Chains A and B, each alone.
Chain A
Amino acid sequence: MNIMIEIFNLEFMRNAFMAGIILSPVLAVVSFFVVLRRLSFVGVGVAHSAFGGIALGFLLGISPTLTAIAFAIAVSNAIGYISRHGRLSADTAIGIFFALAMALGVIFIGMSDQYNVDLFGYLFGNILAITGEDLITIALLGGLVLISIFLLFKELLFVSFDREVALVSGIPVAFLDHFFLTILAVSVVISMKIVGIILVSALLVIPGAAASQITDRYIPMIATAIAIALISTVGGLMFSYYADLASGATIVTLSSIIFFILFIVGKFRK
């Protein structure tokens, strides 16, 4: 009990918990669609592209979150556009943009005169760095993501279920593709501070993937995914504090353990 009180007396831990709690429903709902639409590798690519954006922010001396969002949105939509219009698969497009954005990031960091940039923190997460201002950004953008998905839920579900039929029946499939890629990009950037660029894509897959092992209807699946995201972030933060482990890595490891448990439960259920 003392440990609990100790944790909540620390401002940075309070901020980290708040961020985790606000992000959980966002991660859950986005991962639900990432799993259904098989976009997990797009998530990886977009997360890495955010690195280029962060470096650009440092170079220009403006908010890295802002440039990261701009970069991630541009890259995710470019991946979507190229895979639809070019003679390339999404997979190839991601492979190219992923590397390009990282390379640009390294170049931008090299060009900037700031030598004390916390690169490791951006790559693997740094909960100490979550400020009150960050919380407001996370809450506002996270809220926007949730509201827009709520409003377009039935169309997104239809397109994920059967693209071709949705297209013929007049659903604006291309618009929804780009809409979801934008949502994905925003979710990546706001989740980045807590688990880092390298690990954030895991949280955009695991809650939905784990929930899909034990449910076969979408509302229970989303509810389960939210619970999994909450347990992973809150539980992971607590455990990492107690055991003195890296918080982002602990959160991702805990969520993976939940996935494997539910995977086994799902096998027995059938």
Chain B
Amino acid sequence: MINHETEVENKKAVFVDLQDVWVSYYKKWVLKSIYLKCYQGEIFGIVGPNGGGKSTLLKVILGLVRPQKGVVNLFGHKPDKHNRLEVGYLPQISKADRSFPVTVLDVVLMGLYNRLGFFKRPGNRSREVAMEMLSEINMADHAGKPFGNLSGGQQQRVHIARALASKPKLLVLDEPSTGVDSVAQEDFYELLVKFRDEMNISVIMVSHDIGVITAHADRIACLNLQIHYHGEPDPCFEPEIMQKLYGKDLNVMVHDSKCVTCFKKHEHND
């Protein structure tokens, strides 16, 4: 277990803290002895192959999966439905039905439902907040359009607006690059950085796409049942770490540090 925690980070609030977390499904370990800390105001990337436990780790952080062993803290407490209100969540883009009869504004308003409570309908105040969020992502003109008519990248930005509408402290993203072209991806990550700076939120994102994570995260962890690497993104990954994550048939291409796709996986199909 390598732990790179610097002096600076220790001064910031710890939003997520996992200590020696173990999770198993049907008698098979999917997470082994995970230590992880996410601080306020950072974009934290988790990479690893599919089946490596990324989604489970997110569920543990959100309190939707209880670990067999270990301690999980979300904003200093055990995750439950109360502190989960402070988390905005973005699932993989494909999960929402494209023909669903809602407008872009309706989707953003959904982000405010939990604050409204049962039986109450979103009123003018909620609409204002939702419209502000749409302006933030430059999509105010699309408010009345059917959500299903948007491109993948636009839908993802609307999901961000929905997740941030209730002003959470932490944003959790599952495979944010799925179904989005590379130009839209760039816009999307710029938005993340903007919201991190403006709202001082933290972002935890998981992806099997190493290039995307290394180009945009402040810190990264690599996950394949265990956390193999934990620290600041390095354009040159240690070959041993890459092999532990993705196996031997991996072709590492090193470009300059601005390149989005620094690492190409050799015939790595999901």
A residues in contact (CB < 8 Å) with B: 36, 151-152, 154-155, 157-158, 160-162, 164-171, 212, 215-218, 221
Contacts and interface: CB of A to CB of B under 8 A. Distances in A.
Interface residues of B, number: 35
B229 interface: no
A217 B89 contact: no
Contact of B89 (A155, A168, A212): A168
B122 A154 contact: yes
A225 B95 CA distance: 26
B85 A217 contact: no
Given A161-B102, A217-B102, A218-B102, A169 B64 contact: no
11 contacts: A36-B101, A152-B119, A155-B113, A157-B110, A161-B96, A162-B95, A164-B89, A169-B84, A169-B111, A216-B99, A216-B101
Interface of A is mostly: helix
Contacts of A152: 118-119
B235 interface: no
B205 to A, nearest CB: 15
Contacts of B163: 165
A155 B112 CA distance: 11
Which 10 pairs of residues, A with B, have the shortest CB-CB distance?
A168-B89, A216-B146, A170-B114, A218-B101, A169-B114, A164-B91, A170-B81, A221-B101, A158-B110, A162-B96
Contacts, number: 76
Given A161-B96, A216-B146, A167 B110 contact: no
A217 B102 CA distance: 5
Given A164-B89, A164-B91, A217 B122 contact: no
Contacts of A169: 84-85, 89, 110-111, 113-114, 166
Contacts of A168: 62, 64, 84, 87, 89, 172
B198 interface: no
A36 B148 CA distance: 14
A158 B89 contact: no
B97 interface: yes
Interface of B: 62, 64, 81, 84-85, 87, 89-91, 95-97, 99-103, 106-107, 110-111, 113-114, 116, 118-119, 121-122, 146, 148-149, 162-163, 166, 172
Contacts of A167: 64
Contact of B113 (A36, A158, A160, A221): A158
Contact of A217 (B84, B101, B119): B101
Nearest to A158: B110
A164 B81 CA distance: 14
A164 B148 CA distance: 18
A35 to B, nearest CB: 10
Contacts of A212: 99, 101
Given A155-B118, A169-B110, A218-B106, 20 more contacts: A151-B119, A154-B121, A155-B113, A161-B97, A161-B107, A162-B91, A162-B96, A165-B163, A166-B110, A167-B64, A169-B84, A170-B84, A170-B114, A171-B113, A215-B101, A216-B99, A216-B148, A216-B149, A218-B101, A221-B101
